[in-house]
A and B are shown apart, each in its own frame.
Chain A
């Protein structure tokens, strides 16, 4: 177990290293720099001072090593667009908002998805099943979340005036982003729950249990749901970092001052330190959750051994 975990973590670190080198190299390979347009009128000497100030005058490999060295000390540099703050402070102020929306989204979408999935599977081939499946696959899977977001803004904020249009500060601000953001993961959850529950429902050991005279409720809770939920860990686990790092589109739709907004502005202004930090956060969380979901899989399902998990 320990050696397996060590191996996974090492390969994660290696991948992160490769990814950051690639991104760092790519960003710097393009002609022009972050200050070419904003401070282009400055004299070459002044420009050189700015470059030195942000460590951009050194060769690229040196810049990367500097960045890595700072990273090992937990320091992510100074964002070009807000020189009075550090990247750490910027992320510390923005991420909680994303985390709140993301956390609520996970709770809402996973519970509702699980609930609807189970209902649809239990009522298989009835009108309840077809209604749930149709609604979920339409609204949840096929419609982009920002499309639903704008429809909600138009109806509930502009027409009815029940909820604020967007922004951050009051409790009501959370409602619409969370609902719009939840629909897609909820639909995924519903689909997988339904499929895996159905698979178990017709399994021999369930039929055997029924033959032995176990009550339907007992069968459902002890025999069907417990086994059917196992695949969900590997399927839905990797979704968690996706939700926690926020949806760029949802945050833009509801003008939330979260991480997503920085993705956009940092991209537009070529803010190297900020981009690197954001990419690192997303990739690290992503990799960690992959490992964690594999571990959870082993803990929940005694039939799986770690040696067999190496995909």
Chain B
């Protein structure tokens, strides 16, 4: 009886840290074995870096128009040609990367911020709260995600941050379901019972003890959403419902130049190649992470 308050503090965190250290080591080892995932990871990091460094590496100004060389085609001065008002295609693609990556990372963050707390509460508390959350899932499942995002755009208008927000809102159910399932599975485990027996408060058990154990699948899910977001965001811009001038965006580049396809195919092929490459690399990165972090899922 006297020993209990003494044991309540330090031992648990250190043990948790040591075990998670070896978990991340093992995961990194598994990830390295997968050559495709390794290449995809490098490409994904490259794409992110290009987006971050866009203002410094773009060869021209992203908004400068050069009406003397409109639809000029590839040349030494404009490596990938120019668009219908003489903007450098390579520069637009690099700046479009920045826009795409903003939305591609921002939207899952929004979904995570909304979905994770709700899922944790539903999985941990259960009862009425769980019931309400489940009904919310059903309600949100009734409307297809792309349609829901479209409705938000209609109602509230759009810019880069709003686009990330709207697509992110449609992602919350997935994050929430995942977190709920994780917490349902983990809450009866011995280490949770032990923590509770030692008198740890609920918030401490859910955040300090369970969350590190649930974080692997959540990271995997996060990365797996990225290609979907790139696809959707570029799709909206391609329809003219997303990013607006003068901002550059891959989807909008397609929209602007699709009529000039017979004159200069590069105008469409460049943004398409960018979208394709980004989707592929993040998709394979996600698959690799799944195999590395969540070995039981296969």
By a beta-carbon cutoff of 8 Å, the part of chain A in contact with chain B is 15-16, 18-19, 23, 26-27, 29-30, 137-138, 141-144, 146-147, 150-151, 153-154, 158, 165, 242, 245, 248-249, 252, 263-264, 267-268, 270, 275, 279, 282-283, 286-287
Contact = CB atoms under 8 A, between A and B. Distances in A.
Interface in B243-298: 254, 258, 261-262, 265, 268-269, 272, 275-276, 279-280, 283-284, 287
Contact of A267 (B154, B268, B269, B272): B154
Contacts of A29: 155
A263 B254 CA distance: 19
A143 B276 contact: yes
Given A150-B272, A264-B240, A279 B284 contact: no
A279 B142 CA distance: 10
Nearest to A264: B239
Given A27-B154, A144-B235, 4 more contacts: A23-B151, A264-B239, A264-B241, A286-B142
Contacts of A26: 151, 155
A153 B261 contact: yes
B39 to A, nearest CB: 13
B138 interface: yes
Query: Which DSSP category, helix, strand, loop or mixed, fits chain A's interface?
Result: helix
B231 interface: yes
Interface residues of B, number: 37
Contact of B284 (A15, A142, A283): A142
Contact of A154 (B153, B154, B265): B265
Contacts of A270: 154
B214 interface: no
A248 B240 contact: no
14 contacts: A138-B280, A144-B276, A147-B272, A150-B272, A151-B269, A165-B261, A248-B146, A249-B238, A263-B147, A263-B150, A264-B241, A267-B150, A267-B153, A275-B154
Nearest to A134: B36
B96 interface: no
Contacts of A144: 230-231, 234-235, 275-276, 279
Contacts of B3: none
Contacts, number: 95
Contacts of B258: 150
Nearest to B286: A142
A147 B287 CA distance: 21
A233 B227 CA distance: 26
- Counting from the closest, the 9 A-B pairs by CB-CB distance are A142-B283, A144-B231, A267-B154, A249-B235, A142-B280, A26-B155, A147-B276, A147-B272, A264-B239
Contact of A146 (B147, B156, B238): B238
Contacts of A264: 239-241
A51 B241 CA distance: 26
B142 A19 contact: yes
Given A29-B155, A249-B235, A279-B151, A267 B241 contact: yes
Contacts of B275: 144, 147
Contact of A249 (B239, B269, B280): B239
B132 interface: no
B144 A286 contact: yes
Query: Which DSSP category, helix, strand, loop or mixed, fits chain B's interface?
Result: helix
Given A264-B239, A264-B241, A158 B153 contact: no
Contacts of B4: none
A150 B156 contact: no
B57 interface: no
B128 interface: no
A26 B258 CA distance: 33
B139 interface: yes
A283 B154 contact: no
Contacts of B238: 146, 249, 252
B143 interface: yes
Interface string B134-173: 0000110011101100110111100000000000000000
B144 A282 contact: yes
Contacts of B280: 138, 142-143
A286 B154 CA distance: 21
A282 B147 contact: yes
Contact of A242 (B144, B151, B283): B144
Contacts of B284: 142
Contacts of A151: 269, 272
A46 B274 CA distance: 49
Contacts of B272: 147, 150-151
Most buried by B among A138, A248, A268: A248
Contacts of B139: 15, 18-19
A15 B147 contact: no
A143 B279 contact: yes
A28 to B, nearest CB: 9
A30 to B, nearest CB: 5
Contacts of B240: 264, 268
Interface string B206-248: 0000000000000000000001001100110011110000000
Contact of A27 (B155, B230, B231): B155
Most buried by B among A153, A264, A267, A282: A267
A286 B146 CA distance: 13
Contact of A141 (B150, B151, B234, B283): B283
Contacts of B234: 144
B147 A268 contact: no
Given A30-B156, A267-B241, A279 B276 contact: no
